[in-house]
Amino acid sequence: MPAEPSVRLTAREAIALLTGAADFTEHRPPPRTLPPDGPLGWTGYDAARERAAERTGEEESVVYGTGFVGDRACVLLSFEFGFLGGSLGLLTGDRLEAAYDLALTRRLPLLALVATGGSRMQEGMVALTQLQRVAAASTRLRAAGLAQLAVVRDPTTGGGWATVGAGADVVLALPGAQVGFAGSRVRPPDADPYAYGAEGQFTAGQVDAVVPAGELPGTVGRWLRALGPGSRAPHEPPPAAPLPRAQAPSSASGLPASGREAVERARSPRRPRAEAYLADYFAVRLPLHGDRCGSTDPGLLAGFGLRADGQAVAYVAQCGTPTRPAGYRAAVRTIRLADRLGVPVLTLVDTPGAANDAEAERAGAGAAIADTFAAIAAARVPVTTLVIGEGGSGGALALAAPGNTHVTADSYFSVIAPEPAAAILKRPPEETGATADQLRLRPQDLVELGIARSIVT
């Protein structure tokens, strides 16, 4: 069942919710005069605009300006759904483009508070082409390394969702909000309403979090701190992410004496997992959810975090399960966003290998892994890797930083796990241990071979 619809805030109420007592300075683009009844001469359009202005007190369906959320300055744009359903017309496009350009000029992140039914029918194709203007403005902001956050309110549909909303780097949604490209009047009559709501979009990996209104100021404030360079100069390279501290190993016997022991320790249920490392590493974690292609992988954690000293670090962590294509795509999304924003990356490697079932093949496992290798290789920010458990073949190596990979005493890294290696070599099962030794997969072997820089103990 869909959640109860959230309370519909006006544009200025939404801004006040985020900025609190802080000042909000409204901006307006240069005025433009439309022909009578708009670009199409749609009979009654001027009268409808006048009624909307009288009812809402607004001149258009978007309000924008500068303000603070917590201690971080940003450009805010907020849709007024009461003004012709928050629809996008030519003058709306002027305001949206001006908001993005203001963020570009001031070098500030852009926070969009979206509530819209889409493009304005009374302006026809002129209205629809405003989506191209928004896309171009968003691309300029992205190229400048500035973050874009969206809070999708009730409702967020049509082109507004497909540009300002879903096109943001981080998408938060209010509980119960209607969210989807197809509005309620144009979707199939038998469509599942859950798919068109905030909670359904979260399940499908299209929304990063569903956040109650009362928690939005704190959540957005933390995201603004995590996504921005803070006091660093815009083009100053960030410091590398510090190595995590060692967690209690599964064995008190030091390093494994054999390949078999290394594999057993990496597979032990007693050894610490990604959650333990991340909880110790970060004071605040802000997850990114889903691959934006309709899938999620619960065995891969990704997002941004703040350490106790305030340093922002992006993280991608495998949780000991075979990583699915959705997990690799979520990893790529996180790494490329961090690279664009100048935030260092930490990866925690722990997988027996990439998922190899038929569903994973249909979902594009090969392409997803290839894209992960490419994202790591292309990253301009430093990437730090710690292997905390199993390092199974290319499915693990895809997330490992060349030249900056470290290992724990409870880990191994191998071209292939010893059991399938023995099978490929047509060896009996009792020779699996000897095969593990030949693969030289122990932590100390990896350092000697130059695969790992150090053992974190």
- pLDDT of amino acid 170: 97
φ, ψ of residue 168 to 5 degrees: the values are: -75, 160
| Tally of helices (H runs) and strands (E runs) in the chain | 17, 16
Q: What is the pLDDT of residue 411?
A: 95
In this structure, which amino acid lies at residue 403?
G
Whole-number pLDDT of residue 231: 47
Provide CB contacts within 8 A for 159, sequence distance 6+.
88, 118, 119, 128, 130, 131
Using CA atoms of 433, 434, 437, 438 in order, give the dihedral in degrees to the nearest 10: -140
CA 172, 166, 236, 303 dihedral sign is positive
- In order of 227, 268, 440, 449, 455, the CA distances from 387 in angstroms are 26, 15, 15, 15, 9
pLDDT value for 187: 80
Residue of 261, 180, 210 lying closest to 443 (CA atoms): 261
Amino acid at 316: V
pLDDT score for 191: 81
Per-residue pLDDT, 253: 76
Tell me, what's the pLDDT at 233? 56
Q: What is the pTM of this model?
A: 0.93
Please give the pLDDT value at position 2: 47
pLDDT of residue 428: 87
> Could you tell me the CA-to-CA distances from 35 to 43, 45, 94, 131, 210 in Å, in that order?
12, 11, 16, 21, 42
Q: One digit per residue, pLDDT tens: the chain, 457 residues?
A: 445 555 689 999 999 999 987 889 999 999 999 999 999 999 999 999 999 999 999 999 999 999 999 999 999 999 999 999 999 999 999 999 999 999 999 999 999 999 999 999 999 999 999 999 999 999 999 999 999 999 999 999 999 999 999 999 999 999 999 999 877 777 888 888 888 899 999 999 999 999 999 999 999 999 999 997 654 555 678 899 999 998 988 777 789 999 999 999 999 999 999 999 999 999 999 999 999 998 999 999 999 999 999 999 999 999 999 999 999 999 999 999 999 999 999 999 999 999 999 999 999 999 999 999 999 999 999 999 999 999 999 999 999 999 999 999 999 999 988 888 888 888 888 888 888 898 999 999 999 999 999 999 8
| Helix, strand, coil distribution of the chain in percent, nearest 5 | 40, 20, 40
